[in-house]
Amino acid sequence: MAGEDAAIGWDEARSANLANWEERVALHEQAYGLDAYDDPSHLSDVVRFDLAALAQFVPSLEGLDVCHLQCHIGTDTLSLARAGASVTGVDFSPEALAAAERFASRHGVAMTWVLSDVLDARAAVTGDFDLVYTSIGTISWLSDLDRWAAQIAGLLRPGGLFYIRDGHPALYSLDENAPGLHVAYRYFPNGQAQQWDEETTYVGDGMLTSTRTYEWPHPLSEVVNALIGAGLQILRLDEDTTLPWRFSDRMVEVPGGWAWPEKERDRVPSTFTVVARRPE
């Protein structure tokens, strides 16, 4: 049954998730519209949105050191570099990092790539950063948000910013195949992962053979409290109705992505955004 609780350890769940994400790389290289980046001014829609959200705190990334956690194949990482940053990308998938490096090299952009679980990022990454960035579809793959937040705090310079935009946990509690907004899955954690078996990924038409994955629900309170517990100051919390991917077939295309039909749009948030700062 999709979304059922699974009594599984982190190492075993991580191994299954890695096999799944390794297979996604080739499919995403075909489906992400990489040719658009042949225009040197092109930025991903994700980064365009996030730069606007960051603008009141960081008017420009020019000259800043940025660490992009869970960078996957590097489209957002390249976009951050094109916005002026010196960028380090971190991911746990060797295939994804190889694709990201090919992609960046094709466009003549030098970046640093680090193979590491995000939960071990501080030990794996050299240096510290003005901005640690993660967006979007990231933290449900992590079992321990306190450890996650500690990595972020350790990577930031005093006064540095952390930015996350991700799928809202209220959204993830919904049955994406239901004819209406129907809550089907846990919002709150209970120490166990949720098990999923899906032959497709969120974009493109290719099929996967490593279909089983494990994710952990993290309520908004857990995200915020983990960051506070790591010593970060919360500067802003926002919620939005638009996603950069189609969570459900019932979602409709709108400027900037996908949203529920208009009559349902104001009933449930689709994303949340947090901006936090490491104190001076």
How is residue 173 written in tokens? 């509690």
* Domain range list for the chain: 4-277
Q: pLDDT tens digits for 126-158?
A: 999 999 999 999 999 999 999 999 999 999 999
Dihedral over alpha carbons 139, 229, 168, 274 (to 10 degrees): -100
Q: Is the peptide bond before 139 cis (omega within 30 degrees of 0)?
A: no
Q: Mean of the per-residue pLDDT values for the chain?
A: 94
Please state, in angstroms and rounded to a whole number, the distance separating the CA atoms of residues 28 and 23.
Answer: 9
pLDDT of 228 above 80: yes
User: Residue 110: is it exposed, middle or buried by C-beta count within 10 angstroms (0-12/13-18/19+)?
Assistant: exposed
pLDDT attached to residue 68: 98
Sign of the four-CA dihedral 73, 115, 237, 239: positive
Q: Is the pTM of this model over 0.75?
A: yes
Q: Where are the alpha helices (DSSP H) in 196-249?
A: 220-229
With vertex at residue 107, the alpha carbon angle to CA 115 and CA 59, rounded to the nearest 5 degrees, is 80
Please state, in angstroms and rounded to a whole number, the distance separating the CA atoms of residues 16 and 28.
Answer: 18
Q: What is the dotted CATH code of the domain comprising 4-277?
A: 3.40.50.150
Q: pLDDT tens digits for 181-195?
A: 999 999 999 999 999
Res. 208 pLDDT band, cuts 50 70 90: confident
pLDDT attached to residue 144: 97
Res. 1 pLDDT band, cuts 50 70 90: low
Helices 10-31 and 94-106: crossing angle in degrees, nearest 10, is 30
